[in-house]
Structure 1
Amino acid sequence: MTTIKQKRTKQWVDKLWPESTYPVSYGDALSKLTKDELTYIRTKLRIPGLSSLNKQALIEALVRLVPERIEEETIRYWDRERWTVIQKILNGQGRWAKPLLTVEQYDYFRYRGIAFPSTVDKTRVVLIPEELMAWFRAKGANLYNKGIAVRNTEWVRLSAGLLYYYGTMTVEQLAERVSALTGAAVDVPEFSGVLREASEYYAQIRVDAGDRVSHSRVADPEKVVGEQEFRAELEFYPLTKSQILKAAEPDYIEKNQYYIDLVRFLRAIYEISREEADCLVEECAEAAMNGLSQGEVMRILSDSLELPDEATMKVLTDKLVLLMNSTRQWVLKGYSPDELSALRQRASVAEESAKKADVISMETRRKIGRNDPCPCGSGKKFKKCCSG
């Protein structure tokens, strides 16, 4: 018997991979979409004046107008990965068999009217319509600018990595950071376009309201912004370029020793797989990154696991606290609580040392440096005599 869930899954698959012919005309490819989906293509490519058309008239207009808009509105912002996808389809004469993309990435190409996931002879493929194939071939030499694609790739990866550690930033803040990392000026409007397009292709980047870009894991950007502004005197944690690029990888999570210890501990007291334990600890780490309290993070574990006896519970709590205190938080501008505590302690020691050095000689009315002769007349340096 087919269950409701199985029926829904089949409906979803049929919608994502509709039956098609190969080669496919542009009109036939677009006819598989709903009127709302066609309208979405028109909106993404900023094609005006088509809102009153019925579905067939809209398809005919898009067949004519999409090639005029895709270079300006989307292709100019592509990185190397998206160009590689298109090149695979072009190399297959308009057909890419056994494609491997996420659902969001299939939708990215479909809802720009460029490439269409389809089923041909019971095989899943991605197709570029004949008319667009001819367009790509005619414009190919001028369309792909390797330098721009390389630049866009670096912009996207650095932005994703920075957002992993800092949570949320304005486009201008990100552009400034990326410029410093690359040593090259960043055109902010162009950069904004690259991020806008990347946000619909890559899971890590999310464009929020108010010219703000966030990592997709950030639950409450406004809370993060408020906490960061409360710490206005605190500079963002200094990251290396290699750290940033590593964090740009899909599904990246920073796994320190305390993270690994908690995974091992959960596996030791519960009959769960490494993947299950890792998934739970990742949820805890993500909650800590969002600035949640210890109680809130503990509830994540209690929702999935039966909490142990009191003695084991204490060990679990201690390990969870170690994880949380060592996890970089967006509200702390990329610092972990442990790092921020150490930073403040060093600043306090330096301030106290400076205060000790600010001793005024009663005779000269001048401040006495730590290497100056001690005013007591001992002949020793001040730091080795009366400073302490």
Structure 2
Amino acid sequence: MKDNLWIEELDNIEPNDNYKKLLSNLTKNELNEMRKLWNFHGISQLNKAELTQELSKRIAANLESWILYLGSEQIEFLKETIFQCESYSGAYIELNEISYHIAEYFQARGVIFLGQHQETALFFIPEELRIKIKSILNKESVKKQISLNDNYIKYAVGSAVFYGVLSPELLYNCLERYLDLKWRIDPLDVVIEYGEYSLIAYSAGPFFILTAVEDAHEILIEREMRRDLDYYIPSKKEVENAFQKGHENWNLAQRRFKKKLTKDYKLTPDEAEMLIFNFSLLIKNDISTAEIIRILAEDFEIDVFESKDDLIQLINDFHNNTRMWLLKGHTPAEVYAAGSK
């Protein structure tokens, strides 16, 4: 898909456009990428018109097999777009990074199309697909699988908060620890599909990675070098909280640092909460205490060295008690204590 499109550069979509018409608006290369994504064989040599015809039939016929890998977040977006299309001729949107990302995901699969109608950007699902999708989503077997998928996604994302990068083996271990897995659909495939859609995580091959991770390769190397260190095992409740909040529960050291920022440096609770969250991500990416001090000085005009209080100690405690991805979810303090025994 083209980057940074202005509205006038989007393909015009009319409310009565059928599926083949919408596919024909795409380039031959985009159609070929769509074919590869669906893993359709035997049609790579077709010309554009023939490929459009074949894709319109095959995607419609295979919609259920794809929907079975989705979670409620993706399903609700499909439902809302269908509702908007049937009520207002399309889901009219504001063009931004999020809408482009969503368009990239759904249009690459030939399900939702990004275009413009009367100089307004919109998402559109053709009537043929709307009818099929609604019928599929009414099936009890599909509803049950989506509910299972939601649990796979919840515990994958929650576990990724502690580990940053989930390899297939680590993902299975996490899911088996908290769930009674049902193997009609491979949970790994569900989580990887969610990574293609999500803004908080992404998929790289078979790996599921939080977007906040700066160097997944380095984390994997560091963890491989620490074979004598077992993974930290969060409780089921810890993982559920991490999924809901986007971070693990703040510990005593982090709460003390937050209190210092609000009480002595006049940050609002929301500002202090955001700072704690951002600092925790930086530490998980192996930032040094010195870098935290620099950020406080440059961005918040807090001169740590001139202060006559325990701020430096609080920063050190914060750093040493933050769970780090390269330490397999442990804090530096936990690793140090284990090595001292």
User: What's the TM-score, normalizing by structure 2?
Assistant: 0.80
Shift of 1:313: 9.1
Which of 88, 99, 114 aligns to 2:111? It is: 114
- State the identity as a percent: 23
- 1:193 corresponds to which residue? 189
Bigger RCO (CA 8 Å, 6+ sep): 2
- 1:202 corresponds to which residue? 198
> 3-state SS of the aligned residue for 2:58?
helix
Q: Which amino acid aligns with 1:214?
A: I
Shift of 1:161: 0.7
Pick which of 82-91 and 253-262 moved more: 253-262
Q: Any gaps of 5 or more consecutive residues in structure 2?
A: none
| 1:310 and 2:302 aligned | no
How far apart in 2 are the matches of 1:190 and 1:225? 23
How far apart in 2 are the matches of 1:51 and 1:228? 41
Q: Deviations over 1:40-61 (max 9, x none)?
A: 3222111234445554444333
| 1:69 and 2:66 aligned | no
> Which structure is larger by alpha-carbon Rg, 1 or 2?
1
| 1:324 and 2:316 aligned | no
Which of 174, 177, 181 aligns to 2:178? It is: 181
Instruction: Tell me if structure 2 keeps the 8 A contact 1:261–1:319.
Output: yes
- 2:80 corresponds to which residue? 88
| 1:228 and 2:223 aligned | yes
Change (3 A) 1:137 1:282: closer
Matches of residues 371-382 of structure 1 in structure 2 within 5 Å? Answer: none
Shift of 1:194: 0.8
Shift of 1:329: 0.9
| 1:293 and 2:288 aligned | yes
Say what the alpha-carbon RMSD is for the aligned residues.
3.6
Matches of residues 1-388 of structure 1 in structure 2 within 5 Å? Answer: 11-13=5-7, 18-53=11-46, 55-72=48-65, 74-92=66-84, 94=86, 97=91, 102-121=99-118, 124-136=121-133, 139=136, 141-142=138-139, 145-184=142-181, 186=183, 190-209=186-205, 211-249=206-244, 251-252=246-247, 254-256=249-251, 258-259=253-254, 261-262=256-257, 278-301=273-296, 304=299, 308=303, 310-312=305-307, 316-342=311-337, 348=341
> 3-state SS of the aligned residue for 2:17?
coil
How far apart in 1 are the matches of 2:338 and 2:182? 32
Shift of 1:156: 0.9
Q: Deviations over 1:128-178 (max 9, x none)?
A: 112212433565555961211111110011011111102223213311321
Change (3 A) 1:144 1:313: farther
Change (3 A) 1:269 1:139: closer
Shift of 1:308: 2.5
Change (3 A) 1:37 1:312: farther
Shift of 1:273: 6.9
Q: Which amino acid aligns with 1:46?
A: N
